[in-house]
Amino acid sequence: MDSSRKEQQQDQNQKESKKKRTGVWVNGPIIVGAGPSGLAAAACLSQHGVPSLILEKSDCIASLWQYKTYDRLKLHLPKQFCQLPFLGFPENFPKYPTKHQFVSYLESYAAHFNIRPNFNQSVSSAEFDPAKSLWRVHADEFVYISRWLIVATGENAEPFVPEIRGLGKFKGKVVHTSDYKSAKEFGGQKVLVVGCGNSGMEVSLDLCRNNAVPYMVVRNTREMFGMSTFGVAMALLKWLPLKMVDRLLLLTATFILGSTDELGLRRPKTGPLELKNVTGKTPVLDVGALSQIRSGKIKVMEGVKEITKCGAKFNNGQEKEFDSIILATGYKSNVPSWLKQGSNSFTEDGMPKTEFPNGWKGHEKGLYTVGFTRRGLQGTSSDAVKIAADVASQWRSAEDCSNSCHSHIILLIGEN
Summarize the confidence of residues 285-291 as an average pLDDT: 71
Summarize the confidence of residues 345-368 as an average pLDDT: 91
pLDDT at 322: 98
pLDDT at 376: 84
pLDDT at 101: 98
pLDDT at 413: 32
Q: What angle do CA 248, 253, 256 make, to 5 degrees?
A: 120
pLDDT at residue 416 is higher than 50? no
Q: How confident is the model at residue 8 (pLDDT cuts 50, 70, 90)?
A: low
**Is-contact 307 170, C-beta < 8 A?**
yes
Which pTM value belongs to this model? 0.81
pLDDT tens sequence across 15-59: 555 555 568 999 999 999 999 999 999 999 999 999 999 999 999
Sequence-separated (6 or more) residues with CB below 8 Å from residue 184:
210
Q: How confident is the model at residue 213 (pLDDT cuts 50, 70, 90)?
A: very high
Tell whether omega for the bond before 85 is within 30 degrees of 0, i.e. cis: no
pLDDT at residue 270 is higher than 70? no
Q: How many CB atoms lie within 10 A of CB 185?
A: 13
pLDDT tens sequence across 57-70: 999 999 999 999 99
- Euclidean distance between the first and the last CA atom of the chain, given in angstroms as a whole number: 30
pLDDT tens sequence across 404-415: 554 444 444 334
pLDDT tens sequence across 155-211: 999 999 999 999 999 999 999 999 999 999 999 999 999 988 888 989 999 999 999
pLDDT tens sequence across 221-269: 444 444 455 555 566 666 667 677 666 666 655 644 555 555 555 555 5
Identify the residue with better confidence: 293 or 365: 365
Q: Sign (positive/negative) of CA torsion 251, 254, 255, 256? A: positive
pLDDT at 409: 42
Identify the residue with better confidence: 100 or 355: 100
pLDDT at 250: 62
pLDDT at 143: 95
Residue type, 326: I
Question: Max alpha carbon distance in the chain (Å)?
Answer: 79
Q: How confident is the model at residue 81 (pLDDT cuts 50, 70, 90)?
A: confident
**Is-contact 183 292, C-beta < 8 A?**
no
Written as one string, the DSSP assignment of 311-366 is EEEETTS-EEE-SEEEE---EE--GGGTBTT-TTTB-TTS-BSSPTTSTTB-SSTT
pLDDT at 285: 62
pLDDT at 411: 41
Sequence-separated (6 or more) residues with CB below 8 Å from residue 213:
189, 190, 191, 207, 297, 299
